[in-house]
A and B are shown apart, each in its own frame.
Chain A
Amino acid sequence: MKIAFTSEGTSWDSLIDPRFGRTENIVLYNEESKELTSVDNSAVKNDAHGAGTATAQKIFELKPDVLITGNGPGENAAKALKHINMRIFVDAHNLTVQQAYNNFKSGNLKEV
């Protein structure tokens, strides 16, 4: 399974970024290859509108099976993610990517 996280940094110790559209980075973990990669999302910050949809498009290109974030995507982004049947888990605020992953595996995160 491939899992995407909205993250402030690029490593397992980085904190989950509670925002979706304006998240600093998207961290991707591939369970099969055990590889952790990341995509810089900071270019989206300058956009007045459409940060959510822009980030949704990025997520689509990475093709994860699951998205883990804090607040959850806003209305527009949610529509876009629904279109690609993305499973979204929220309430990972104040956790590191590692902790969020553990919580996900043990079923402690809320799915929307």
Chain B
Amino acid sequence: MMLPALAVLAAISILPFLYIIWMSLNDVTLLGGSGLSSRWVGLGNWAGMFTDPNVWAGWVRMVIYFVATVGLQVILGVAIALLVHEVVWGKNLALSLILIPMFIAPVIVGLLGRFLINPTYGLYSWILEETGIFTGNILGEDVPAFVAVVLMDVWEWTPLITLITLAGLVSVQQQVLEAAKVDGAGYWRRLWHIVLPSISGIVLVALLVRSMDALRYFDIVWQVTGGGPANATKIIPMGLYEVAFRFLQLGYAATIGLVMLAISILIANLFTRMLKQRGLAG
């Protein structure tokens, strides 16, 4: 029963995996049309990568981008889940509405974000100007552009954390909460000593799921800034894509890609270990 699926999966995952390793040991270049030339360079790409300031800068931006997006998503996502959990009237409708952003294609989120912060016609840039918070071209300056792409990602994926956290909140033991209430513990004390400890496992699941996807997608950055202005938003996948399809150095890009792959495998490993702890190992 499992053979057809595993055979197909092997063909589309193991073959490309072996090939990307081979690519990283060669100088693979795209020629005009559909031609391809390759020359064995051994560990040349690897040696080059470790001393390439652009690659290091890309990873530094990736770490900042990761901490900012996933960090804000976890904080806001848990806060919104706690809020929705307290709501009685209209809870179902509110949750459905809150989830909407995560079904929208990231590239559309990027385009919509560009529309909203367009300096001439944008609704949000108009609000920022009228209130005097920010005037000027958001995507034209380093820090505002970085903040903009971070907030777009936060807008799209915070609902995922909210959804997962809510599933955890439902399972917090009511008797314990009631007992604490009777003993005179206020909302914040109950939150800190009972609720947060009992949902921490599920929030960790949400964090890991989001972490794996944070490394996978770069649609928003690609669409909104393309890595600019002056490389300010060029996170590592964006840099890799540019090396491969703009500078046409596929072998070197493969080397950067393998490092990304190694990190995602590391996170996947943490994830399966956690599944096992929760008694859900595959």
Chain B associates with chain A: no
Seen from chain A, the residues whose Cβ lies within 8 Å of a Cβ on chain B are none
